[in-house]
Amino acid sequence: MARKGFVHVGNKVSAIIHKTLISRMMKNTAVLLVSCPDQKGLVASIANFLLAHNANILHADQHQDAELNLFLMRVEWDLNGFSLPLEEFAAAFEPIASKHEMTWRLAESARKPRLAIFVSKFDHCLADLLYRYQSGELHCEIPIILSNHEDTRWLADTYRIPFQFIAVLKNAKEEAEKIQSTILHRERINFIVLARYMQVLSPEFIRQYENRIINIHHSFLPAFHGAKPYHRAFERGVKLIGATSHYVTETLDDGPIIEQDVSRISHRDSLEDLIHKGADLEKIVLSRAVKWHIDNRVLVYANKTVVFD
Q: Annotated active-site positions, please?
A: 253
Binding to its own copies (CB under 8 A) within 261-290 occurs at 261-262, 264, 266-268, 270, 276, 280, 284
Binding to its own copies (CB under 8 A) within 216-245 occurs at 220-224, 236-240, 242
Tell me which of 120, 148, 215, 305 binds its own copies, using CB under 8 A. Answer: 305
Q: Is 60 in the site for its own copies (CB under 8 A)?
A: yes
Q: Is 253 in the site for its own copies (CB under 8 A)?
A: no
Q: Which residues contact 277 (CB under 8 A, 6 or more apart)?
A: 241, 263, 265, 269
Q: Residues in contact with its own copies, total (CB under 8 A)? A: 74
Tell me which of 4, 26, 85, 203 binds its own copies, using CB under 8 A. Answer: 4
Binding to its own copies (CB under 8 A) within 19-48 occurs at 40-41, 43-44, 47-48
* Min separation Cβ 125 and its own copies, Å: 12
Binding to its own copies (CB under 8 A) within 68-127 occurs at 123-124, 127
- Which residues, listed in sequence order, are joined to residue 272 by a DSSP beta bridge? none
CA distance 58 to 4: 45
From 3-11, 105-113, 171-179, 199-207, span contacting its own copies (CB under 8 A): 3-11
* Min separation Cβ 161 and its own copies, Å: 14
CA distance 146 to 124: 15
Nearest residue (CB) to its own copies, 172 versus 302: 302
The neighbour count for residue 159, using CB atoms within 10 Å, is: 20
Nearest residue (CB) to its own copies, 189 versus 256: 256
Amino acid at 175: E
* Sign of the torsion angle spanned by Cα atoms 157, 111, 114, 286: negative
β 298-301/304-307 pair status: antiparallel
Measured CA to CA in angstroms, residue 257 lies from 92, 133, 262 at distances of 34, 23, 14
Tell me which of 19, 178, 231, 304 binds its own copies, using CB under 8 A. Answer: 304
CA distance 293 to 226: 24
CA distance 142 to 270: 36
Nearest residue (CB) to its own copies, 85 versus 237: 237
The neighbour count for residue 101, using CB atoms within 10 Å, is: 10
Binding to its own copies (CB under 8 A) within 132-191 occurs at 135, 137, 153-154, 157-158
* Min separation Cβ 302 and its own copies, Å: 8
